[in-house]
Structure 1
């Protein structure tokens, strides 16, 4: 019966054209465009990182500046912006054009495009400025992609494509764009975690940056994954490792503010 209900919900959302992400805070109900069952399932399934998303949202305070690095279609971007209720801003970074297009559509769908509620950038954050190839799964809504050289060999499908994407060094880009000092940062970059952290060193060391949620993908990384935690500790965070999910895990990094 459960599978029948899930199938019905997926088909209903696909025909309607959008799915609603239901959270414990009922005032937050972001909508997401869907055109495939994969897109619909990504939003409506209960095991889709929901616990981690709820944890991230609990850390948000009025007026916060949030960075969503590896924003994809906006799973963190949209509820974060709704939680801020116009008192702060979310800056979302997504280098893949196909997902950036969907991200912008979802921002419009939730009426978050006015002012600086959500500011999307079609770039990836790294430790230097460059254009490189990104391998993505060629399925609408899959959300799978990486600039990591060994990413493709770990995929279970041959339905992948390579696309050029723009990467920028984090701290200088934030300064050039006039982006305020971030308070919260979410990172999901499929193996490029260290590059992001290195490029944002100044911003992350700042006393006002108090929480980072970083997904770590050991099998895609070219350096030891424990270096992610070591770097966060060096930046002044205390780190909690969440339970592993498949082949990856999450680091919840907090600063003790006095």
Structure 2
């Protein structure tokens, strides 16, 4: 009971009062990858991440060894690291997150498995135009959040004192990673309800290189917004699929029509380019 009360009070404090939390290093033994180390954030609002073989195998279905993959909205690297394990040391995994507090933990994870991964992090948001943006969170500890612009007006009452940088991804990749673009296999988007806007901003990349796309249908999205998200992806020549978890054992259900986006409250989907 004492432990429960202590955890509850810590969560309450993290929601209301800012504190910069550190990290701890956890070790996981995978059947195929061997020993994997991961930096878990000690923010009491964040459930510790566990790296599993089933999750890595989920990404292996879409990310060939040696290819380029991109994680937009990395947070501390909870999907970035499994993606990078799938791509391997000979591949390249780019991670983008403008939140400075989660980015510090991401940087720790970049360094932990250098013999098995090749992760290149950047503290940027992906936007349709380059610029500087306000960043806000519903939690004082900034465990979540997003940029505020003409599309997403409000993410919470707690705002960073300095603006964050937004970049146009296609331009950035063409300038910095043009030699790797032909190997682009996978893009994951998780940006607190602004997935549709990000997907539209990377439409040129999706049309040209046809990587598998993973995105989220946000809890607060209305039926019209869900339909718009469906058509944004489908009109780029993709077929959509619900999946129950980042696991090779996940339940997978086709999403053939926009109305089917209302079957689940919050869910992730993956999209594959039509032949």
Query: TM tier, shorter chain?
Result: 0.7 to 0.9
Does structure 1 retain, via aligned residues, the 8 Å contact 2:59–2:86?
no
Residue 23 of structure 1 deviates from its aligned partner by 6.1
Change (3 A) 1:32 1:112: farther
Separation (CA, whole Å) in 1 of partners of 2:207 and 2:264: 30
Does structure 2 retain, via aligned residues, the 8 Å contact 1:33–1:105?
no
5+ residue gaps, structure 1: 8-13, 153-157
Does structure 1 retain, via aligned residues, the 8 Å contact 2:23–2:105?
no
Does structure 1 retain, via aligned residues, the 8 Å contact 2:59–2:82?
no
Does structure 2 retain, via aligned residues, the 8 Å contact 1:237–1:254?
yes
Q: Residue in 2 aligned with 1:252?
A: 270
Q: Residue in 2 aligned with 1:199?
A: 201
Change (3 A) 1:21 1:57: farther
Residue 216 of structure 1 deviates from its aligned partner by 2.0
Which has the larger displacement, 188-197 or 15-24?
A: 15-24
* Match among 37, 43, 48 for residue 49 of structure 2: 43
Q: Residue in 1 aligned with 2:96?
A: 93
Separation (CA, whole Å) in 2 of partners of 1:111 and 1:245: 41
TM-score (norm 1): 0.75
Does structure 1 retain, via aligned residues, the 8 Å contact 2:212–2:273?
yes
Q: Give deviations 1:89-147, integer Å, cap 9, x for gaps.
A: 0011111111111111111123379xx9111111011111121111122227x3x1122
5+ residue gaps, structure 2: 8-20, 245-261
Q: Residue in 1 aligned with 2:172?
A: 173
Change (3 A) 1:186 1:30: farther
Q: 4+ runs of 1 displaced by more than 6 Å?
A: 50-53
Separation (CA, whole Å) in 2 of partners of 1:112 and 1:120: 17
Change (3 A) 1:86 1:26: closer
Aligned length: 232
Separation (CA, whole Å) in 2 of partners of 1:98 and 1:249: 25
Separation (CA, whole Å) in 1 of partners of 2:35 and 2:273: 27
TM-score (norm 2): 0.71
Change (3 A) 1:19 1:95: same
Q: Give deviations 1:135-186, integer Å, cap 9, x for gaps.
A: 122227x3x112231332xxxxx6x334521111121121122253221000
SS in 1 for 2:206: helix
Change (3 A) 1:45 1:219: farther
RMSD over aligned Cα, in angstroms?
Answer: 3.6
